[in-house]
Each structure stands twice: as C-alpha cells, then as structure tokens.
Structure 1
C-alpha cells in the first residue's frame, strides 16, 4: 500500500483492540440506520396526530424491505474491496470501487423507477386502510425517490469501512440523524408539508451524509485515485460484485419481504 494512502492496516497491532475498535462503531452505525424511520414516526405522531402516525407506520415493512436490500447490496459490494485491500492489490481495489459505483447507479435507477411506479399498487395489495393510504403514499413515495441517496451513503460508508475506518461513517450518520430530526420539525411545523415533509427530511439527511462520505474519501484515501482505465465498467468485476451483493441484499430484506406478504 502506498504511503499516505489514508487507509488503515488491520493486520498490525493488537487483534482484540483492532476488532473492538472496528466492531463497536459498526454496530452503532447499524442501530442509527434505523433511527430515520423511528424519528419520522415519533415526530409525525406528536405533530400531526394519530392518522398521520398510522400512515407512516403502514409503510414500515416496505420501507425496510427496500432500504434493507440497498444496505445489504452495498455491504456485499464492499467485500471484494476489502479483499483486494488485504492483498495490497491497489489497482484491483480501485476497479472494484469503480464498478461497485456503476452497479449502484444502475440498481438505484432501476429500483427507484420500479417502486415509484408501483408504490400505490403495493399499498393497495397490502390492503392499506382507505383513510390513511393517501398519507402513506405521500410519505413512502418521497422515501423511494431517495433510493439513490441511500445507495450513495451506504456504498461509500461500506467502502470506507472496507479500508479499515468504521468510525468516520458513524460520525457522519450521527450528524445526519440529528439533521433529520431538525428537518422533520422544519418541514412539518414551518413548511406545513405534512407526512411528505418527514420523507423529504429523511431524503435530505441521507444525501448530506453521502456527500460528506464522498468529500472525506476524496481527501483522505489517495489509494482510491483512479489511474488509466480503472474507472471503466468491466463485466468480470461486476459479476463478482453481483455474486456478493445480491444475496446479501436479499438476506437483509428477507424478513421485511415476509412482513409485506
């Protein structure tokens, strides 16, 4: 690994210290990932009443089904990156990072288009009560519009973790969680956007955390600076990434799929 590359070598030092230092921020990161929907639900219930609370609550299963798949896919994409980092094969590492970016862009466009088109139908298939279906639709439609932002944050945070840094993504996530709460109150109480405001707050907070990760990576990890044609999409790399990412995406969302059914 090049000197000053910014990545952390996890093969040097006390194993237990390294494991705990990496593990604890990662666990808290997973917990705070769930804070977005929880914060929306609590604030909507307090500010907009029981019907609005029921509308947001009715979307919990499909929300976690889609967001869980995004998180699992990005976690899977980070595995080959971590492997090549361990091998100190910097060129292959950059190719995997580039191709995971291409795949995440494709997945986000396809998923956003599909679920936004089918959003109301899914709510109808789930027999969402007529008195809350409009509110549920307004909220979850905005959340689904934010799928690219969800991919952006999760892909970049998982890449940062694969280079040995699990603390920085947690810091950005904590910041965006606080921002989400503040924006919830702003969009609901000041802008009077109703349940849709909670969705826009979540979308904005996710996008901000993703952009923070991107800026941090560009400044910190010189090892990721593309050289030559390393940024170009390659089928062999994409095949490996899909073999890792898609099963993990299904693993993360399988419980929510059962709940939706």
Structure 2
C-alpha cells in the first residue's frame, strides 16, 4: 500500500493548515453542486424553481447527514488503524464500512424516491413548487449512491492523510457540472430536472474516478466485500449512530424552519433558499477543521501520543475561532450583493438579507 501522510510527528500548525485547506476547498466544491444548480435555475428559470430546488435539497441533506455522521465515525476508526500501522485491521474496517454504506444507500435512495411527495407535503411545500421539488428529489434519490460513494472514497483518503486527491476529483466534477447545468436546463429544455440530471452525472463520474484512482494506485487495502464481523459493525455503529443522529437533528431543524417558511409563499421561500445557500458556506471552515482534527488526532490516538492529541485539539479550536469570525464578518457586510447572485426580486432580497445578517454571527 502506498505510504500516506504521518501526523504522529512534525509541526502541528503546518500540518493542520496544509491538510485542512484542501478539505475546506473540497467541501466548498461539494456544496457548489447545489450552489451551481441554484445559480442556473434561479437565473434561467426563476425564483419559483429556485425555491423548489432548495426545498428538495433540504430533504436530501437531512437524509445524507446521518450517513455523513457514519463517515465521520469511520474516519476516526480508520485513522487509528493507520496510526497503529495495522493494515489488516484497516482492511477489515474498510470492508465493514463498504457493506454498511451499500445498505444505507439503498434505504435512503428508495425512501427518497417513493416517499418524495409525502415528505414535501409535510414540509408545507407551496403547491406551485411541489411538482418540480418532487421530481428533483426523486432524480437525486436515484443517484444518491454516487454522492455517498464519493464521500466514502474521500473519507478513506483523508483517514490515510491524503486531502489533495479528493479535492482534484471534486474540482473536475464541479467544472463538468457547471457546463452540464445550462445544457440540460435550457439546451435540452429539461428545467429543474435537467439540473438534477447534470448533478448526478457529475457525481457519478467523480465516484468512478475516485474508485479507479484508489484501486489502481493501491492507496487503501481494499478487498472483495465479505460479511463483516459483528465487532467491526458494532464499533462503527457505536460511534457513527450518535454522530449521525446529531447531524440529522441539526438538519431536521433546518427542515422544520423550511416548513414554516414555506407557509409564507414563494417570495419568502426564494429569499430564504438563497440565504441558506450562503449560510452553508459559513460552516465550511469549521467542518474542514473538524475533519482535519479528527484524522490527525485519530492517528495519534492509535499510537497513544496523548500530549500531541491535546495540542491538536487546542490548535484546531484557535484556528477555527479566527477563521469563523473573519468569514462571518464578511458575510454580514456583503449579504445583499451575494444574494443578488441568485435572486433579483426585491421582496426575496429583503427577507434573505435580514435572515443572513441575523445568523452570520
């Protein structure tokens, strides 16, 4: 297996910056799938279609949050195996992770496809947005295996200390999505459905490319999937379920807010939707630092270097506070021009600006 980065030695500040920046850029690019969809949909179709995409994306994110929690827990386990240089243990936990994600992908995809209309009605989706939101959600549900699969590849590589390869793959996929969106939305006249199809194609190619790079380069000790041992599945679920539920509760809170906002009509929904897109950017540095700290600390826990683990946590907190304050300040003062990238209607802009400035800090 190719040797990856070792976080058990070296300058912590330098490692944290060099490792977390590619993760932050990767997260930014991943968010930009829906970000780009919203830009093209809002400008080529209109505010009503933008609201449909936003409502459906909220549902997708709630479902995906639980699996992201599983990913984060597995990142901890894989990092510890990497720190101990236990390739056998690493291979077995990788297999257990693959089996669990396949099962979860099928469950999430089928529920999202067949229960789309029921879920959207529970969120009080305006009738003028319901059909487009439903089809957008169904198409994305069919392709969610690609999104989950790529996130799996990224988690494995980061656990092994490589945050640059996932960045390169996602960058290529987002560039492709940027060109496919207007082609499918306006060129093929598919509207909101075109945005969903373009995103699935891009994510599918990202997953295939990531899998090819990992397998061909032997970057991780994968094997033919087999039924995992109970203790491996139990440990992943023991750490992953609480983390997944925590993220799901936060996402469900956003969905609950969306259900209330939906009752105020299309203009408020559009303003809220555009603000939510920008709000998601505020959290990216914190998420990237959390992933970096998780991977770095995990490797050191594996070799029981506890003093270094505590330093990593302390430096991560300081770094996080500085970056988050700077970004929140920027978002607060540039709220209106940023919102104009998505919407032009005065009523939608006014609500979006008020919401964004309120939650910036």
Is the Cα contact below 8 Å between 2:57 and 2:137 reproduced in 1? no
Query: Residue deviations 1:128-156, cap 9 Å, x none?
Result: 11111001111111111122111100011
> Which residue number corresponds to residue 22 of structure 2?
25
* Alpha-carbon distance in 1 for matches of 2:197, 2:67: 18
1:218 aligns with 2:215: yes
> Which residue number corresponds to residue 109 of structure 1?
106
Name the TM-score, length of structure 2 as normaliser: 0.67
> Which residue number corresponds to residue 230 of structure 2?
235
SS of alignment partner, residue 13 of structure 1: coil
> Which residue number corresponds to residue 258 of structure 1?
253
SS of alignment partner, residue 36 of structure 1: helix
* Alpha-carbon distance in 1 for matches of 2:241, 2:5: 27
* Alpha-carbon distance in 1 for matches of 2:41, 2:218: 40
Compute the displacement of 1:98 (Å).
Answer: 0.9
Specify every segment of 5 or more residues in structure 1 that has no aligned partner in the other structure, as ranges: none
Query: Residue deviations 1:95-153, cap 9 Å, x none?
Result: 00111000000000111112222110011111111111001111111111122111100
Is the Cα contact below 8 Å between 2:112 and 2:137 reproduced in 1? no
Name the TM-score, length of structure 1 as normaliser: 0.91
1:36 aligns with 2:33: yes
1:201 aligns with 2:188: no
Compute the displacement of 1:258 (Å).
Answer: 1.2
> Which residue number corresponds to residue 184 of structure 1?
181
Query: Residue deviations 1:40-91, cap 9 Å, x none?
Result: 1110111112322222122242132123333222222222111111111110
| Greater relative CO (CA pairs within 8 A, separation 6+) | 1
SS of alignment partner, residue 2 of structure 2: coil
Alignment size in residue pairs: 256
Is the Cα contact below 8 Å between 1:94 and 1:230 reproduced in 2? no
Query: Residue deviations 1:186-242, cap 9 Å, x none?
Result: 21122211111111111111111111111111122355143xx88442221111111
Is the Cα contact below 8 Å between 2:170 and 2:206 reproduced in 1? yes
SS of alignment partner, residue 32 of structure 1: helix
Specify every segment of 5 or more residues in structure 2 that has no aligned partner in the other structure, as ranges: 257-361
Is the Cα contact below 8 Å between 2:147 and 2:203 reproduced in 1? yes
Compute the displacement of 1:8 (Å).
Answer: 2.4
SS of alignment partner, residue 132 of structure 1: helix
Of 59, 62, 65 in structure 2, the residue corresponding to residue 65 of structure 1 is 62
Is the Cα contact below 8 Å between 1:8 and 1:165 reproduced in 2? yes
If you compute each CA radius of gyration, which structure gives the higher value, 1 or 2? Answer: 2
SS of alignment partner, residue 127 of structure 2: coil
Structure 1 residues 162 and 152, CA gap change in structure 2 (3 angstroms): same
* Alpha-carbon distance in 1 for matches of 2:174, 2:225: 34
RMSD between aligned residues: 1.8
